[in-house]
């Protein structure tokens, strides 16, 4: 079974394209030894962050193991990682049809539904997953519910959901950044900075936490300290989107600090 990671605090397509982690064989598998080998290969490709190849492998397996919900879920994850939300939703929907009791399938379907704007359906999936016997499922459900409430601009509810996630895992950097974003959105910048700093302490190489903390500190007029976190963002993500945003913020803060000639 493939679990989409929680690294990203935004649910945007570019931030979803991260390594898929976790694989198990709880679902009953059918078919020949070759089919089973191909399924395992597809899961490895997802863990290595190769969703296009993983999709191809799952599609090769599907005709020979079409009743296996894990195959449909894995295919959905590979599509979700490519930003193909409508196709991903269909694959997750099929996985849920085949095994409606598996909370992780509902979480994944909810994530695709969130990107498609199907917010009521997504919330229903996350709520259903909250009753899972798996602590990891319950954590994922709370984090994704927080993201959904953030998307709805219900910032107090988002903060509450992320706080619930943190009660389950106080060191979840995803929940810390998520709660920081909710607090920042409702204007509680000092509290947001505390969450971003806690996320950095938990995950020192988290570029998003550095970027968000740097921006909040600059906004709070703690410019010199904020710039240090923005510079660290560039070190952590020199060629990526987060690094590019940090460069723009550094330039903007430099221009605002330069007196007119």
Tens of pLDDT, residue by residue over 198-215, are 999 999 999 999 999 999
Of 8-22, 53-67, 243-257, which gets the smallest average pLDDT?
8-22
Q: Is residue 14 part of a domain?
A: yes
Q: Is residue 19 part of a domain?
A: yes
125 close to 113: Cβ distance less than 8 angstroms: yes
Alpha-carbon distance 150 to 145, whole Å? 9
Task: Please check the confidence at residue 59 and state whether its pLDDT lies above 70.
Answer: yes
Does 36 or 236 have the greater pLDDT score? 236
CA angle centred on 184, ends 259 and 139, rounded to 5°: 145
Q: Is residue 203 part of a domain?
A: no
Q: Is residue 164 part of a domain?
A: no
Q: Is residue 202 part of a domain?
A: no
**Chain-centre distance for alpha carbon 170:** 17
Q: Is residue 51 part of a domain?
A: yes
Task: Please check the confidence at residue 54 and state whether its pLDDT lies above 60.
Answer: yes
What is residue 260's predicted lDDT score, i.e. its pLDDT? 53
3-state secondary structure 53-90: HHHHHHHHHHHHCCCCHHHHHHHHHHHHHCCCHHHHHH
The string of DSSP letters for 85-112 reads HHHHHHHHHHHHHH-TT-HHHHHHHHHH
What is residue 259's predicted lDDT score, i.e. its pLDDT? 54
Q: Is residue 107 part of a domain?
A: no
Print the domain residue range for 79.
Answer: 1-101
pTM for this one? 0.84
- CATH at residue 15: 1.25.40.10
Give 63-102 pLDDT, tens digit per residue. 999 999 999 999 999 999 999 999 999 999 999 999 999 9
Q: Is residue 128 part of a domain?
A: no
Mean pLDDT of 231-247: 98
What is residue 172's predicted lDDT score, i.e. its pLDDT? 97
Task: Please check the confidence at residue 107 and state whether its pLDDT lies above 80.
Answer: yes
Number of domains in the chain: 1
Return mean pLDDT, the chain: 89
Q: How many CA atoms lie within 13 A of 224 on its CB side?
A: 0
Task: Please check the confidence at residue 24 and state whether its pLDDT lies above 80.
Answer: no
Confidence of residue 31 (pLDDT cuts 50, 70, 90): low
Mean pLDDT of 132-146: 97
Of 42-46, 121-125, 144-148, 229-233, which gets the smallest average pLDDT?
42-46
Q: Where are the alpha helices (DSSP H) in the chain?
A: 13-16, 33-47, 51-61, 69-81, 85-98, 103-116, 119-129, 135-151, 155-168, 173-185, 189-202, 207-219, 223-236, 241-257
* Residue 169 CB partners (closer than 8 Å, separation 6+): 139, 175
């Amino acid at each position: 079974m493939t679990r989409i990671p929680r690294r990203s605090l935004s649910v945007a397509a570019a931030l979803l394209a991260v390594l898929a982690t976790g694989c198990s064989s709880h679902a009953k598998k059918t078919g020949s030894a070759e089919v089973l080998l191909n399924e395992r290969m597809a899961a490895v490709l997802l863990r290595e962050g190769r969703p296009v190849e993983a999709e191809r492998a799952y599609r090769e397996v599907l005709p020979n193991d079409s009743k296996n919900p894990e195959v449909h879920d894995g295919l959905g994850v590979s599509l979700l990682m490519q930003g193909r939300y409508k196709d991903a939703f269909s694959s997750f929907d099929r996985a849920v049809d085949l095994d409606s009791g598996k909370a992780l399938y509902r979480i994944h379907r909810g994530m695709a539904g969130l990107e498609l704007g199907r917010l009521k359906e997504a919330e229903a999936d996350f709520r259903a997953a909250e009753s899972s016997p798996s602590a990891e499922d319950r954590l994922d459900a709370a984090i994704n519910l927080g993201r959904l409430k953030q998307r709805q601009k219900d910032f107090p509810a988002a903060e509450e959901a992320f706080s619930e996630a943190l009660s389950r895992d106080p060191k979840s950097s995803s929940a810390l950044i998520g709660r920081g974003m909710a607090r920042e959105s409702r204007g509680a910048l000092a509290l947001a900075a505390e969450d971003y700093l806690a996320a950095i302490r938990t995950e020192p190489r988290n570029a998003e936490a550095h970027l968000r903390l740097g921006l909040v500190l600059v906004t709070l007029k703690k410019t010199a300290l904020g710039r240090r976190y923005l510079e660290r963002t560039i070190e952590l993500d020199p060629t990526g989107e987060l690094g590019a945003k940090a460069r723009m913020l550094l330039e903007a803060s430099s221009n605002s600090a330069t007196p007119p000639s």
